[in-house]
Amino acid sequence: MTLFRLAWKNVVGSAFRSWVVYLCVLLVTGLLFTSVLLIGGTRDSLRLIQQRLGADVVVVPEGTEAGVESALLMGRPVKAWMPRENEDKIAHVPGVREVSPQLYLASLANAPCCTAEMLVMAFDPQTDFTLTPWLRQHLGHGLSAGEAIGGSDVFVPYGEEHLRIYGSEIDLVGSLERTGTGLDTALFLTFETAYQVAEHSRTEAIRPLEIPPESISAALVRIEPEADPRVIALQISHEVTKVTAIPASGLFQTFRRQIDGLLRSMLTLLGAASALSLAIVGLVFSMAVNERRREIGVVRALGATQGEVLRTLLAEALMLALGGGASGILLAALVLYLFRDLIVVSLAMPFLFPALPLLVALVGGGLVAGLAGVGLAVLFPVVRASRLDPAVAMREQ
């Protein structure tokens, strides 16, 4: 018989009290973990997108910022066109090192792979610095005409060998890593392939793919190392008419504000739930200790020191905290992992489930938080119980 075993038997022996504490801790740690994963997952996703773009400044037609952000984040096709000559104008702005144009197109709805229009992004392989490094690393070469790479969720329908876009057959030669955003359902091909598809679509597709001549949807800009992206962006906006230049750090501002609003609400809810749950835990333990005064008196009479009584009672609380905390975290992680796609689609926010090392750290942190919270909640009643005069305690009915 040890103090640990005594604590365990006390936990198991009082089912109702143990369940109440267990469920309170499960709720708090589950909510806490969910919030941390959602906040972290969204921010990770945004960071990945920015890294994927590789650009210091993104130049888009005036008035299309929201649409382009939506395209990048949620994979929703956008109509954004500006003259191709802007590419040269931007290149001549002092401090600009590289410029790469992109076309944002939409596939047809009800394509076999998809339930809605899919974003198709075309890039210029001569100037591209976004996808070309990935292509070199993973395929060893660039894309040829008629080839494309897809986001992690793009696939060739079962039984077929090619993707069909506007009646043209496209070879899917690679898949990008998951970003937790709409880019996971986007298709990436070269300008040459895009123009070929547009040409073919006049006769092969239900509806032709229209690409305005000498037009681009966006220009991705890399600047000199010592230049300030915000300054360059301002200069571009001055020197090129009817465009908006967004420094990379300024991307997705609207979205970030929405996320911050959502997260503030979540944190408020979390704070309230935590305070309530820990108050309940403290109250339940207070009541339990009160009911067990005589038992505590007996245990002191049998030779337990104040410290041993304190340790036993704390051990009971912390066992329940550990059990409830682990369950809450496991449940939260399971739900977020299984429903990660639904989160992205229904909340319209990017979300990336963390990699294993970070997940382990978060789990550890969550458990520590649960243990600390419960320890604090029960400290007062438990210390008071350990200091009871044994004779007085045994006199209580």
Partner 1 sequence: MTARTAARIPAVAIAILAIVIGVMPLFFNCQYDGKTLVLANGREVPMKCYWTARAALAVAVPLLAVGLLMAFSRRAETLRALGILGAILGVMAILLPTLLIGVCQHAGASCSLVMKPTLVLAGILAIGVSLAGVAVSGRREEQTP
Partner 2 sequence: MVRLDGVTKTYPLGREKMVTAVQDVDLNVARGEFLVITGRSGAGKTTLLNLVAGLTRPTHGRIVWGDMDLWRMPDAQRSRLRSRRLGFVFQFASLLPSLTVAENVVLPTAFGSHRREPAVYERAGELLRMVGLADRRDAYPRQLSAGQQQRVVIARSLVNDPEMLLADEPTSNLDAETEREMMALFTEIHATRGVTVLMVTHAPQLVPACARLVEMADGAICARGAA
Residues facing 98 on adjacent strands:
222
**Which among 70, 42, 49 has a CA at the least distance from the CA of 220?**
49
350 binds partner 1 (CB under 8 A): no
Nearer to partner 2, 232 or 288 (CB): 288
Contacts of 369 (CB under 8 A, 6+ apart): 29, 32, 325
Helix spans in the chain (H): 3-13, 15-53, 65-74, 86-91, 132-138, 191-204, 229-239, 253-291, 293-301, 306-338, 340-346, 356-386, 390-395
Nearer to partner 1, 335 or 394 (CB): 335
Smallest gap from Cβ 289 to partner 1, in A, equals 23
State the DSSP code for 93: S
316 binds partner 1 (CB under 8 A): no
**Contact between 87 and 124 (Cβ < 8 Å):** no
For CA atoms 334, 340, 343, 346, give the dihedral sign. Answer: negative
Which residue is listed with tokens 């990436």?
188
206 binds partner 1 (CB under 8 A): no
C-alpha to C-alpha distance for 48 and 241, rounded to whole angstroms: 30
299 binds, among partner 2, partner 1, none (CB under 5 to 8 A by kind): partner 2
**Site for partner 1, residues 102 to 121, rule: CB under 8 A:** 113-116
12 binds partner 2 (CB under 8 A): yes
Per CB under 8 A, the segment of 25-33, 239-247, 259-267, 384-392 that binds partner 2 is 384-392
Residues facing 223 on adjacent strands:
96
6 binds partner 2 (CB under 8 A): yes
390 binds partner 2 (CB under 8 A): yes
Which residue is listed with tokens 């960071």?
47
Binding test (CB under 8 A) with partner 1, winner from 109, 155, 290, 376:
155
334 binds, among partner 1, partner 2, none (CB under 5 to 8 A by kind): partner 1
Contact pattern for partner 2 over residues 288 through 327, marking x by CB under 8 A: ------xx-xxxxxxxxxxxx-------------------
Binding test (CB under 8 A) with partner 1, winner from 44, 56, 147, 184:
184
Residues binding partner 2 (CB under 8 A): 1-3, 5-6, 9-10, 12-14, 294-295, 297-308, 389-392, 394
